[in-house]
C-alpha cells in the first residue's frame, strides 16, 4: 500500500454500473502482495478495480493493512474507499492482473474431491453465464484477463459438480475464439492457470487450507 494522497486517478471520478456477473464474483485478495503497490496511484487503481469487481470494502481494507507500514491505517483506507466513485476508466481487469501477477504458485490443479453433485439446469446456466463474460471484453488484454477470471470460476465449479475439466476448457476456448483470440496455446495457459487457482481458492475456503481426502486425476 502506498502513502495517501488527496488526488484520485481518472478512473475514479463518478459513479458507474458494474457488470452483473463479475460483480458477484468471489476474489481471494490474500493472493495479492500489497507491499508491491507502493505507488499511490497504482494502489488507488487497485482499490477502484476492486469496487468495480464487487469486492467488499472490508475485504479490501484487510488486504491493505497487511502491509506492515500501514497496519494501523484501516480507517484511512475506509475513508478513501468511500470517496472513490468508479467511472469505467479503470475496470476489474486491473484486479485480475494483480491476482495473476502475485499468485505465481506452480503446480497441477487439485484432484477432484469426493461427493460432487450432478449438474443441474441452474449449474449449466451459471457455467454459460461465466463464459459469456468474455464476449464483453474491450480489447485483447481484457479478453485474456476475463479468460483467466472465467477459468478461476470454472475451477470452483469443477470442485462442486460432476463435469470434466476438458469440457470446461473447451467451453472457454470456444468463447475466446468467438471473441477473436486465435492463440489456442496461450488461451489454454490462461484457462488452466485460472482453473488451478480457482480450485485452490475453493479448497482454502471450504477446508481452511488443510489437506483433505481427494480422489481423481490431475488436470493435464
Interval 114-139: pLDDT, tens: 899 999 999 999 999 999 999 999 99
- Note whether 111 and 48 are same-domain residues: no
Show the cell assigned to 212. 483433505
Work out the pLDDT band at 216, boundaries 50, 70, 90.
very low
Query: What's residue 218's pLDDT?
Result: 36
- Note whether 20 and 70 are same-domain residues: yes
Phi then psi for 150, rounded to 5 degrees? -65, -40
Task: Calculate the CA dihedral of residues 64, 67, 68, 71 and round it to 10 degrees.
Answer: 0
Is residue 100 one of the residues assigned to a domain?
no
Cell 477473436 sits at which residue? 180
- Note whether 120 and 74 are same-domain residues: no
Work out the pLDDT band at 21, boundaries 50, 70, 90.
very low
SS3 99: helix
- Note whether 20 and 74 are same-domain residues: yes
- pLDDT tens digits for 159-214? 999 999 999 999 999 999 999 999 998 899 889 989 998 898 888 888 764 444 33
- Note whether 61 and 133 are same-domain residues: no
- pLDDT tens digits for 75-96? 999 999 999 999 888 888 888 8
- Note whether 66 and 26 are same-domain residues: yes
Residue 61's nearest CA partner among 75, 48, 82 is 75
- Note whether 78 and 169 are same-domain residues: no
Is residue 96 one of the residues assigned to a domain?
no
Query: What's residue 8's pLDDT?
Result: 41
- Note whether 119 and 74 are same-domain residues: no
Q: Please give the share of the chain, as a percent, with pLDDT higher than 90.
A: 43
pTM exceeding 0.85: no
Residue 201's nearest CA partner among 45, 61, 32 is 32
- Note whether 73 and 119 are same-domain residues: no
Higher pLDDT, 104 or 83: 83
Distance separating alpha carbons of residues 46 and 97, to the nearest angstrom = 10
Is residue 27 one of the residues assigned to a domain?
yes
Question: Quick check: 19 pLDDT over 80?
Answer: no
Domain span holding position 67:
10-83
- Note whether 65 and 137 are same-domain residues: no
Query: What's residue 2's pLDDT?
Result: 60
Domain boundary among 19, 50, 83: 83
H-only helix segments in 133-212: 140-160, 165-179, 184-207
- Note whether 77 and 117 are same-domain residues: no
Q: Please count the other Cβ atoms lying within 10 Å of the Cβ belonging to residue 39.
A: 11
Q: How many domains does the chain have?
A: 2
Distance separating alpha carbons of residues 59 and 75, to the nearest angstrom = 13
Query: What integer is the mean pLDDT of 53-79?
Result: 90
- 8 Å CB contact between 155 and 201: yes
Amino acid at each position: 500500500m502506498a502513502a495517501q494522497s488527496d488526488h484520485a486517478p481518472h478512473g475514479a471520478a463518478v459513479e458507474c454500473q458494474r457488470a452483473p456477473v463479475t460483480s458477484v464474483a468471489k476474489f481471494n485478495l490474500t493472493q495479492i502482495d500489497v507491499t508491491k503497490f507502493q505507488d499511490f496511484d497504482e494502489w488507488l487503481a487497485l482499490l477502484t478495480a476492486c469496487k468495480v469487481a464487487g469486492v467488499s470494502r472490508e475485504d479490501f481494507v484487510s488486504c491493505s493493512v497487511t502491509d506492515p507500514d500501514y497496519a494501523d491505517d484501516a480507517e484511512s483506507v475506509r475513508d478513501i474507499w468511500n470517496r472513490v466513485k468508479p467511472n469505467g476508466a479503470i475496470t476489474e481487469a486491473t484486479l485480475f492482473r494483480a491476482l495473476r501477477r502475485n499468485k505465481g504458485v506452480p503446480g497441477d490443479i487439485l484432484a477432484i474431491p469426493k461427493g460432487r453433485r450432478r449438474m443441474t439446469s441452474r449449474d449449466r446456466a451459471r457455467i454459460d453465464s461465466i463464459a459469456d463474460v468474455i464476449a464483453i471484453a474491450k480489447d485483447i488484454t481484457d479478453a485474456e484477463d476475463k479468460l483467466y477470471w472465467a477459468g478461476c470460476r470454472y475451477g470452483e465449479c469443477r470442485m462442486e459438480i460432476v463435469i470434466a475439466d476438458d469440457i470446461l476448457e473447451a467451453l472457454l476456448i470456444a468463447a475466446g475464439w468467438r471473441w477473436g483470440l486465435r492463440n489456442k496455446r496461450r488461451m489454454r495457459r490462461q484457462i488452466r492457470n485460472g482453473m488451478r487457482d480457482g480450485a485452490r481458492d475453493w479448497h482454502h475456503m471450504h477446508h481452511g487450507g488443510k489437506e483433505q481426502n481427494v480422489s481423481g486425476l490431475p488436470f493435464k
